[in-house]
Copies of this chain bind each other. A is one copy, B any other.
Amino acid sequence: MTTLNSTPRADGFHMPAEWAPQTQVWMVWPERPDNWRLGGKPVQAAHIALAKAIARFEPVTVGVSAAQYDNARARLDLPNIRVVELSSDDAWVRDTGPTFVINDSGEVRGVNWGFNAWGGFDGGLYAPWNRDEQVGGKILEIERCPRYAPEDFILEGGSIHVDGEGTLITTEECLLNRNRNPHLFRKEIEQVLGEQLAVDTIIWLPHGLYNDETDGHVDNFCCYVRPGEVLLAWTDDPQDPNYERCHAALNVLQNTPDAKGRTLVVHKMPIPGPLYATQEECDGVDLVEGTQERHPSVRLAGSYVNFLIVNGGIIAPSFDDPLDAEAEAILQRIFPEHEVVMVPGRELLLGGGNIHCLTQQQPAAASR
Residues of chain A whose beta carbon lies under 8 Å from any beta carbon of chain B: 1-2, 65-66, 69, 73, 79, 82-87, 131, 134, 138, 141-142, 144
Contacts and interface: CB of A to CB of B under 8 A. Distances in A.
A151 B138 CA distance: 33
16 contacts: A1-B73, A1-B82, A1-B83, A2-B79, A65-B66, A66-B85, A69-B134, A82-B141, A82-B142, A84-B138, A84-B141, A84-B142, A85-B85, A85-B87, A85-B138, A142-B142
Nearest to A84: B142
A84 B2 CA distance: 14
Contacts of A84: 84-85, 138, 141-142
Contacts of A86: 85
A107 to B, nearest CB: 16
A73 B87 CA distance: 14
B1 A141 contact: no
Nearest to A134: B69
Given A82-B144, A84-B84, 14 more contacts: A1-B73, A1-B83, A65-B66, A66-B66, A66-B85, A66-B131, A69-B87, A69-B134, A82-B141, A82-B142, A84-B85, A84-B141, A85-B85, A85-B86
Contacts of A85: 66, 84-87, 138
Contacts of A87: 66, 69, 85
A329 to B, nearest CB: 37
B1 A79 contact: yes
A85 B135 CA distance: 11
Contacts of A73: 1
Contacts of A131: 66
A87 B64 CA distance: 12
Ordered nearest first, which 5 A-B pairs have the shortest CB separation? A85-B85, A66-B87, A2-B79, A82-B141, A84-B142
A66 B65 CA distance: 8
Contacts of A1: 73, 79, 82-83
A85 B144 CA distance: 14
Nearest to A88: B66
A161 to B, nearest CB: 30
A313 to B, nearest CB: 21
A147 to B, nearest CB: 11
A130 B5 CA distance: 41
Contacts of A2: 79
Contacts of A79: 1-2
A82 B144 CA distance: 8
